[in-house]
Structure 1
Amino acid sequence: MKPSLFETMAGWTHGIGLSDVPEQAVDVAKRAVLDCVGVTVAGTRSPIAPVVDRYVADTGDGPATVIGHERRTAVETAAFANGSIGHALDYDDCTGSLGGHPSVVVLPAALAVAEARTATGAELLTAYVVGFEVAAKLGRATNFVHYERGWHPTATLGVFGATAAAAKLLGLDADGIATALAIAASTAAGMKANFGTATKPLQVGRAAQNGVFAARLAAMGATANVDAFEHDQGFGQLFNGPGGYHAERAVSTLGVWDLIDPGLTVKQYPCCSSTHGVADAAISLRDEVPAPAAIRRVDIWTHPRRLKHTNRPAVSTGLEAKFSVQYVAARALSTGQVGLGDFSGDAIRDPEVVSLMRKVHAEPMPADRWGSDHFPAEVTVTLDDGRTLRTRVERPRGNGPELALTDAELGRKFDDCCRSGGLSPDTTAAVRTVLGTLETVDDLQELLAPLRTPDASAAGWPR
């Protein structure tokens, strides 16, 4: 009998070791872990951090670190907290095959289990790689139907990556991993209707938590239907509908490393990736604009799939602003940048930006201009003096290996995130050094202890 998708994924997950992973993929994975840790530190000062803090405070002690907390908690709780905080700023990485954010759902699950199991850095890195690849392969099997139906793939598909990573660290055999994936199928949830609210990152944290939950239940002997993806009342049919999914696309690409192709998108801007092409385009035009007040009109075109959840002409919260091409364009044209401080309550009420937003008009890009990757953004700025400025960005910086941020740029982003989250320069440098040689680390406390204990020199740590 032909093995099911979950059985195939499980066999591959069980058999992979770090030595089987191409050096290029390992390097990308290490960059991803660095970036994810950085944005999670920054996320400890996000608006949802107090909500997560209160949730963690209501749970018992345990073996797993919540970044920014001195007290450790249960493994599943830590996965939830770090996943939620890591996604709070929408500054974490993406990959095209998943149609979402892989690291922020896979790494928190892996990190929590790895710490509880006293795993090495190499074991953590291996688990991250298999989790990333499993989530990406599920994306290949279901997108873009899945995405366009309104599901949030980071949560609904990312849960399988979190499960694979946790199961790998728990030492499950192939049958156990397949069972864990089938359990995870019954926990999958997350919708785009909640983009622009605190629930977007919270549903990602829940997916990380559910990945640990599914793997632990399988390890304890729970059963599940390993055909739960292809079953006529299974994941594919329920989430995508008849004819809307293709398991063979996942199976046939095992061994094609998604970490390499399409690769990783490391964000330059702390907002929805569907706005990044607009940000790049608007920033490139900024020097030609005499002053924001000289702008008469701004026209934007992006792919309909991307515009659908980022077309917000007015915003009332920083979270909404992260999903507004109008706000991102206005901010970029006003100041020539889009940074961590640009999504606070005061920033989104900046009179100059609010005035400029009223002049921004967004339209879905016609199909003949989509390009092969569906990433292009076009921005036209009409000035009061009659001049028209136009530009098109095919893909934003940071998107994939060809446009990857340099090591120096990634390092600056990490340092900025850690500074924003309250880490001292010395602690930041120490953590960055550990992450740079993660595969050689024997004791993960070298990484986690500095992230768990607030710096006395860091004023205003939000705990």
Structure 2
Amino acid sequence: MAVMDQILDLSELSDSDIPDAVLRLAYASFFDWLACGRAGIGEPVAIKLHAFADHEFGSGASSLFGGGQAPARMAALVNGAISHALDFDDTHFDHVGHLSVGIFPAALAVGEETGATARAVAESFLIGAEAAIRLGRILGTVHYNRGFHQTATAGAFGATLAAGRLYGLSRDQMRAALGLCSTRASGLKSQFGTMGKPYNAGLASSNGVESALLAGLGMSSADDGLMGLQGFVATHSDAPDMDAGWQTPPPQEFRFTRNSYKFHACCHGTHAMIEALLSALQTHRIQPEEIARLRVGVNPRWLSVCDIKTPRTGLEVKFSYSWLAGMVFHGYATGNDRTYTDTLCTDTKLREFSGKVTVTGEPSLSDQQTQVSIELTSGEKIAVSQDLADRMPIEALETRLLTKAQNLIGSGAEDLVALWNSFDSIDATTVGAFVQATQHQCQAT
């Protein structure tokens, strides 16, 4: 069966085909995304995009993080960028992309516009996320390694499915929407460490809403903008893996269940190292001055993503193995987004420690694995490893996400927990009220 038809079949999956356990995980992502978005409203990129929305001006029913409403496409752009501003949202390593920030903004914006329920928003997100994951697997590592940001490329198709499902597009209209998205999806890894990275998430969401809306208005497109001649896959990957996308398709299996969540406010590629170092500190009382050398082995793809040797800003620190390793041993709170200030770049302790760190690419390691060797001045060597693919029980995940939300948004977490417990019975506008709850500062920075 053609990939396009498989995706269209996925878009038509009935609610009853979605297992309760998978929906529960989607609800956890909904909660986590809302917490990240609420926490990001004071970031510079949030203020600039609010100004951009004000400049375009237009009435709309879709809520903006930080206050106000806008048309669905603009709300998706603003909320996608704001919720990714802290780089604290979830990741799926099947295609190395952030699902929630690229798809939930589109789903919620259209959900508010169409009067959908919160459950329908979560289900539409889940369908879109599953499509993005599987398309990302087809595009393969060559797509990512060439420099494309899967959050914005594969993610845009997921946002299109989510928005199209809530708009009630027919199968032919959904085909057209995916075709339009194929000429619209974009996003580059060269933006990492700048405001352009969260902007990529906003692009995914807004492109999805725009493509679905235009298709609903009758705009035509290529019959198969994805897999056809000079379509998206052919032009964006030299080695697509056609067998990787639809092995055991839904409802038999949802690959979304492999989704990973962040508990450190930095690039997910660094989390296995941080967790490994924290485990070493639990079993050994190591002082930073006792470390002679620190060797970190990671999958080679991360070397072009999060191995900034000398970060210049707090944002770049989030993509620096050597700086983050020093932060762990010097007791910095890597799970607190407020830790990542520009002053970290001039911290003499961290600069000195970074000279002890060597990061190498190890092809035998997966995206989620890290091997660390700590050599002490005494000559002792400590080896630790970590694999983020080892899943925690859903109850433990929900508890950690609750703690994370409390750290991110303080008392606002109580209102968010009430939403989480009511997703089965509330509508999208109730969620939108939470999104708008804290007014943003309009002054440019």
| TM-score of the aligned structures, taking structure 1 as reference length | 0.89
Residues 30 and 436 of structure 1 are in contact (CA less than 8 Å); yes or no, is this contact kept in structure 2?
Answer: no
Q: Which residue is 1:66 aligned to?
A: 64
Q: Which residue is 2:318 aligned to?
A: 322
Q: Which residue is 2:249 aligned to?
A: 254
Equivalence map 1:50-449=2 (5 Å)? 50-60=47-57, 61-69=59-67, 71-241=68-238, 244-255=239-250, 259=254, 263-287=258-282, 288-335=284-331, 337-339=333-335, 340-365=337-362, 367=363, 369-370=364-365, 373-393=366-386, 395-396=387-388, 399=389, 401-402=391-392, 405-419=396-410, 425=411, 427-441=412-426, 443-449=427-433
SS of the residue corresponding to residue 258 of structure 2 reads: coil
Residues 283 and 337 of structure 1 are in contact (CA less than 8 Å); yes or no, is this contact kept in structure 2?
Answer: no
- For 1:63 and 1:400, the matched residues in 2 are separated by 41
- For 2:293 and 2:115, the matched residues in 1 are separated by 58
Shift of 1:316: 0.6
SS of the residue corresponding to residue 424 of structure 2 reads: helix
Shift of 1:134: 1.1
Tell me which amino acid in the other structure corresponds to 1:451.
V
Q: What RMSD in Å do the two structures reach over aligned CA positions?
A: 2.1
SS of the residue corresponding to residue 382 of structure 2 reads: strand
SS of the residue corresponding to residue 267 of structure 1 reads: coil
Residues 129 and 256 of structure 2 are in contact (CA less than 8 Å); yes or no, is this contact kept in structure 1?
Answer: no
> Structure 2: 5+ residue runs without aligned partners?
none
- For 1:204 and 1:56, the matched residues in 2 are separated by 16
Q: Which residue is 2:8 aligned to?
A: 10
Tell me which amino acid in the other structure corresponds to 2:391.
P
Shift of 1:294: 2.7
Tell me which amino acid in the other structure corresponds to 1:389.
I
Choose the corresponding residue for 1:454, options 428, 438, 442.
438
Distance 1:417 1:52, change over 3 A: same
Q: Which residue is 1:422 aligned to?
A: none
Shift of 1:375: 2.3
- For 1:143 and 1:377, the matched residues in 2 are separated by 21
Shift of 1:261: 5.9
- For 2:161 and 2:294, the matched residues in 1 are separated by 45
Distance 1:234 1:300, change over 3 A: same
- For 1:290 and 1:428, the matched residues in 2 are separated by 35
- For 2:110 and 2:218, the matched residues in 1 are separated by 18
1:323-379 Cα shifts (integer Å, max 9, x gaps): 1111111111111641222211233433322221222111112x3x42xx4422122
Distance 1:47 1:381, change over 3 A: farther
Shift of 1:402: 4.2
Between the two proteins, what is the percent identity of the paired residues?
27
Distance 1:130 1:377, change over 3 A: same
Question: What count of residue pairs does the alignment treat as equivalent?
Answer: 438
Residues 130 and 158 of structure 2 are in contact (CA less than 8 Å); yes or no, is this contact kept in structure 1?
Answer: yes
Q: Which has the larger displacement, 103-112 or 92-101?
A: 92-101
Q: Which residue is 2:41 aligned to?
A: 44
SS of the residue corresponding to residue 439 of structure 1 reads: coil
Choose the corresponding residue for 1:25, options 1, 22, 36.
22
| TM-score of the aligned structures, taking structure 2 as reference length | 0.93
Distance 1:256 1:151, change over 3 A: farther
> Structure 1: 5+ residue runs without aligned partners?
420-424, 456-460
1:132-185 Cα shifts (integer Å, max 9, x gaps): 111111112222222222211111100000000000000001111111011000
1:411-450 Cα shifts (integer Å, max 9, x gaps): 111222223xxxxx2x431222112331221x33322213
Distance 1:5 1:447, change over 3 A: same
Residues 76 and 112 of structure 1 are in contact (CA less than 8 Å); yes or no, is this contact kept in structure 2?
Answer: yes
Tell me which amino acid in the other structure corresponds to 1:84.
A
- For 1:193 and 1:253, the matched residues in 2 are separated by 34
